[in-house]
Structure 1
Amino acid sequence: MAKSTLLLLLLSILYITSTANSSAIASSSSFIKASCRATTYPALCVQSLSAYATSIQSSPRQLIQTALAVSLDRAQSTKTYMYRLTKFRGVKPRERAAIKDCLEEIGDTVDRLTKSVNELKNINGRTRGQDFQWHMSNVETWMSAALTDETTCTDGFGGKALNGKLKTSVRAKIADVAHVTSNALALINKFAASKN
């Protein structure tokens, strides 16, 4: 009798804990969806941030840090991809030149996003007024410059001279980075405006 009572109690506790966790994740997911409405690519925003719902919870600060981290991760992955393309044989000279230029631009993107991540770390709960605005302005400036770098990279693959799978592949990779960066910047702009 005591064993069955203990088992019933244990199962009840597990059920309550599970329900509470499910409720917290649902709340976090709703927060992410609502926040992503302010972005240019809301579906991508939700898709890229939902995996981090438990760490984001309902924290605007954690949301922007995560969005920026996702952007940086994708930029680093794209930089690695571009570097590997420079090693391919059989790439036309014009394509190789565009790849090298793009690699330099995406390298600049990684640098600017890294600076932005570090700048956000300088903002704490006590950072207010002009100090807060100065840090946020730096982040917004670097992220805008990162978007320009990504556009410059894509422009290098313009024209009919560069057609085919390589162009399509590079443009898709860069577009993905640009879209998550654009989303992160929109969330950061919203966060900065909410603190004014």
Structure 2
Amino acid sequence: MDMQARNHNYHFALLLLFLFLSWYSATAQDLVRSSCAHARYPALCIKTLTPYATPSATALDLAKSAVRVSLAHSRSLSTYVTTLHSQMQQQSSSSAERVALNDCIAQIADSVDEFTRTLSELKNMQVGTTSFQWHMSNAQTWTSTSLTNCYSCMNGFGGVVSKVGLDVKQRVNSLGMLTSNALYLITRIGGAANGVRGGN
């Protein structure tokens, strides 16, 4: 085979690879957009799921990814508020702020546990089995409770207007938005939203 033929084959192979990657990316993006279209925070949902989406992903796969992201954020937030509390113990701060932060530490720690339990339920869930609804109910309960924890933490800082209080509220609100989307995606597995069948 001469050099010109080899170059032609090489460029043809590159073109096929480019076309495949373009199709793969577009299909994954379409899946994410359709899955997130009716989430409470669709733009955040798309941003969260895009790195994990593949054309063959199911509603269950996307829900798992959303919960994993929420779990990672809750762990990071738990470390942050715990460290912040230790620092405040050595500084002058209002008693209301300390009480709110102390409560928030417990609530976010509970959220870490709840997301861990949720992910375990999703891993054991199989669409169409007799135990599906049981796992679904548990996953919804744990995620909903975690969302309540976020609201409780933010409400505890309701009267606190310090920089620390505002920063904590902003971080917890971000986790709450992720959690709300995760709860929607979990519900979507069983076709409770928009007529979607589980696993699609």
With structure 2 as the length reference, what TM-score do the two structures score? 0.88
Q: Which has the higher helix share?
A: 1
Instruction: Please name the residue that 1:93 is paired with.
Output: 95
Structure 2 residues not aligned, in runs of 5+: 192-196
Instruction: Please name the residue that 1:45 is paired with.
Output: 45
Q: Report deviation, 1:74.
A: 1.1
**Alignment partner for residue 125 of structure 2, among 123, 127, 130?**
123
Conserved 8 A contact 2:60-2:122: no
Runs (4+) off by over 6 Å:
none
RMSD in angstroms over aligned alpha carbons?
Answer: 1.7
Instruction: Please name the residue that 2:169 is paired with.
Output: 171
Segment of structure 1 superposing worse, 56-65 or 166-175: 56-65
Instruction: Please name the residue that 1:107 is paired with.
Output: 109
Q: Report deviation, 1:87.
A: 2.0
User: What amino acid does structure 2 have at the position aligned with 1:149?
Assistant: N
Q: Report deviation, 1:27.
A: 0.9
User: What amino acid does structure 2 have at the position aligned with 1:105?
Assistant: Q
Structure 2 residue matching 1:168: 3-state secondary structure: helix
Q: Report deviation, 1:181.
A: 0.6
Conserved 8 A contact 1:150-1:174: yes
* Identity among equivalent pairs (%): 34
Instruction: Please name the residue that 2:158 is paired with.
Output: 158
Note the alpha carbon deviations across 1:33-90, whole angstroms, 9 max, x for none. 1111121111111111112224x74421211111111111111111111112112242
Conserved 8 A contact 1:123-1:132: yes
Instruction: Please name the residue that 1:181 is paired with.
Output: 179
Instruction: Please name the residue that 2:190 is paired with.
Output: 192
Distance 1:53 1:186 in 2: 17
Instruction: Please name the residue that 2:75 is paired with.
Output: 76
Segment of structure 1 superposing worse, 136-145 or 80-89: 80-89
Distance 1:134 1:81 in 2: 34
Q: Report deviation, 1:139.
A: 0.2
Q: Report deviation, 1:92.
A: 3.0
Distance 1:106 1:134 in 2: 25
Distance 1:25 1:71 in 2: 24
Q: Report deviation, 1:164.
A: 2.1
Structure 1 residue matching 2:143: 3-state secondary structure: helix
With structure 1 as the length reference, what TM-score do the two structures score? 0.90
Instruction: Please name the residue that 2:23 is paired with.
Output: 23
User: What amino acid does structure 2 have at the position aligned with 1:78?
Assistant: L
Conserved 8 A contact 1:27-1:57: no
Structure 1 residue matching 2:53: 3-state secondary structure: helix
Conserved 8 A contact 1:27-1:58: no
Conserved 8 A contact 1:75-1:106: yes
Conserved 8 A contact 2:59-2:188: no
Task: Determine whether 1:142 maps to 2:142.
Answer: yes
Instruction: Please name the residue that 1:65 is paired with.
Output: 64
Count of aligned residue pairs for this structure pair: 190
Structure 2 residue matching 1:87: 3-state secondary structure: helix
Structure 1 residues not aligned, in runs of 5+: none
Q: Report deviation, 1:171.
A: 0.8
Structure 1 residue matching 2:158: 3-state secondary structure: coil
